[in-house]
């Protein structure tokens, strides 16, 4: 194998080999540059579906604006950081492009109609990867319980003990929640609300 | 004659009153403009704050920024409902809140008690605008 590679290199000559190497760097760099362009808040909110619905809600939350100015923008929570999972998520996103073309959520009313489905699929994704995107910043192995409030210490110790993950409790922290059935008022028709946990 | 003098005195007093400068709480800002808001933070007491009288709705001893009370969810009830309070350790919502106006008891709070912040309020680190010497019956 190594022999054959060396033979091949001798055949094409050092300049061609160097040229191919440089082309590889440029191609890979360009690919990543383009990929990262689609991983910005500006790109995500360039369509009105995001701009009018989820982005507006997010602007009132701590991940958009806070005392120290450290932020978590759209891709920090919705796109994995590791290369493999990131590429998989990006390929899945082609479905979102399809629905953009179909106009599935192009009005706030249509968006509200679909909110349960959209929220539940995102919760399922985060549950499956143990809330990886949360833990990129909020790693509970490094949480100092003595610095947390009384409520947080109690709940966190119980939850971690039960093997729960961030998203099991911290839902709707950056966006509005879909209808949750809390048994308040008239019963909600089946399928129009998520069961409360 | 006397009546005329009295009327004159009243008129003069009236103009004097009108010219007296009023010092409103909003300061010298013209009516169409807004004062810049002072920045206050919600206080975290982390422990129940004692009531000042028996009928006072308990005040909220923690930050409630971003808590949603919408037609989709009442975030307070996630911890404070009778059922949830067993696990969360939060103060459970009072018995009266589960009863509707017909006297019927419900599994969760009555819709007339849905908007918690109408009565229960969080605390800010702000000084009161007007002083108050109320002591409460127990003090």
CA B8 to chain centre: 46
How far is the C-alpha of A120 from the C-alpha of B62, rounded, in Å?
Answer: 29
Of the residues A173, A180, A188, A194, the best mutation for testing chain B's interface (the one with the most B CB atoms within 10 Å of its CB) is A180
Residues in chain A with CB shorter than 8 Å from the CB of B78 are 196
Q: What is the pLDDT of residue A151?
A: 81
Per DSSP, what are the bridge partners of residue B105?
A: B99
- Of A70, A72, A171, A183, give the one whose Cα is nearest residue A125: A171
Is A184 close to B106, i.e. CB distance below 8 A? yes
Q: Which of A47-61, A174-188, B20-34, B98-112 has the lowest mean pLDDT?
A: B20-34
Tens digit of pLDDT for each residue in A1-44? 788 988 988 888 889 999 999 999 999 999 999 999 999 999 99
Contact A185 B114 (CB under 8 A): yes
For residues B138 and A147, what is the distance between their CA atoms, to the nearest angstrom? Answer: 35
Establish if A147 touches chain B: CB-CB under 8 angstroms.
Answer: no
Chain B contact present for A119, CB below 8 A: no
Contacts of range A116-122, beta carbons closer than 8 Å, 24 or more positions apart = A116/A178, A116/A179, A116/A192, A116/A193, A116/A194, A119/A171, A119/A175, A119/A177, A119/A178, A119/A194, A120/A178, A120/A194, A122/A78
* Domain parsing of chain A, residue ranges: 1-37, 48-195
8 Å CB contact between B53 and B59: no
- Residue B7: predicted pLDDT: 61
pLDDT band at B125 (very low <50, low <70, confident <90, very high): confident
Q: Is 80 exceeded by the pLDDT of residue B1? A: no
In this prediction the ipTM stands at: 0.77
> Phi and psi for A195 in degrees, rounded to 5?
-70, 135
pLDDT band at B80 (very low <50, low <70, confident <90, very high): very high
Answer whether A183 touches B (CB < 8 Å): yes
Residue A35 structure tokens: 């990929």
| B7 or A119, which is more confident | A119
Q: How many Cβ atoms are within 10 Å of A194's Cβ, its own excluded? A: 19
Disruptive mutation site among B43, B45, B78 for chain A (greatest number of A CBs within 10 Å)? B78
Q: Which residues of chain B lie closer than 8 angstroms to A159, CB-CB?
A: none
Confirm if B95 and B103 have CB atoms less than 8 A apart. Answer: no
pLDDT at res. A34: 92
**Tokens read off for A115:** 């909110």
Mean pLDDT of B71-80: 93
The DSSP 8-state label assigned to residue A126 in this structure reads H
Helix axes A94-102, A83-92, angle to 10 degrees: 20
**pLDDT band at residue B138 under the 50/70/90 scheme:** low
Work out the percent of chain B whose per-residue pLDDT is above 70.
85
| Spatial distance between the Cα atoms of B57 and B80, rounded to a whole number of angstroms | 14
Model confidence over A165-196: pLDDT tens digits? 999 999 999 999 999 999 998 888 888 888 87
**Per-residue H/E/C for B41-100:** CECCCCCCCCCCCCCCCCCECCCCCCCCECCCCECHHHHHCHHHHHHHCCCCCCHHHHEC
Q: Contact A180/B70, CB-based, under 8 Å?
A: no
Question: In this predicted structure, what is the pLDDT of residue B16?
Answer: 55
| C-alpha to C-alpha distance for A15 and B63, rounded to whole angstroms | 66
């Amino acid at each position: 194998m190594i022999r054959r590679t060396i033979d091949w290199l001798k055949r094409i000559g050092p300049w061609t080999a160097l040229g191919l190497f440089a082309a590889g760097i440029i191609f890979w760099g360009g690919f990543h540059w383009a990929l990262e362009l689609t991983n910005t808040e500006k790109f995500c909110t360039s369509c009105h579906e995001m701009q009018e619905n989820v982005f507006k809600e997010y602007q009132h939350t701590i991940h958009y604006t806070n005392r120290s100015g450290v932020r978590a923008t759209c891709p920090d929570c919705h796109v994995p950081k590791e290369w493999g999972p990131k590429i998989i998520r990006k390929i899945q996103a082609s479905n979102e492009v399809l629905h953009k073309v179909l106009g599935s959520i192009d009005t706030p009313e249509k968006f509200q109609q679909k909110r349960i489905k959209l929220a539940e699929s995102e919760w399922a994704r985060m549950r499956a990867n143990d809330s990886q995107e949360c833990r990129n910043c909020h790693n509970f192995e490094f949480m100092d319980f003595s610095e947390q409030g009384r409520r947080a210490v109690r709940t966190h110790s119980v939850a971690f003990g039960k093997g729960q993950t961030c998203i099991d409790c911290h839902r709707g922290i950056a966006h509005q929640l879909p209808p949750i059935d809390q048994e308040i008022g008239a019963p909600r028709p089946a399928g129009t609300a998520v069961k409360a946990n | 004659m006397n009546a005329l003098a009295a009327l004159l005195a009243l008129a003069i007093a009236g103009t004097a009153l009108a010219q007296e400068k009023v010092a409103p709480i909003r300061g010298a800002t013209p009516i169409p403009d807004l004062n810049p808001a002072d920045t206050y933070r919600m206080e975290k007491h982390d422990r129940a704050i004692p009531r000042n009288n028996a009928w006072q709705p308990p005040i909220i001893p923690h930050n409630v920024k971003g808590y949603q009370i919408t037609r989709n969810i009442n975030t307070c009830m996630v911890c404070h409902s009778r059922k949830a309070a067993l696990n969360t350790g939060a103060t459970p919502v009072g018995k009266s809140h589960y009863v509707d106006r017909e006297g019927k008891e419900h599994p969760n709070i009555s819709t007339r008690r849905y908007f918690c912040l109408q009565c229960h309020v969080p605390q800010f680190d702000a000084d009161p605008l007007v002083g108050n010497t109320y002591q409460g019956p127990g003090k």
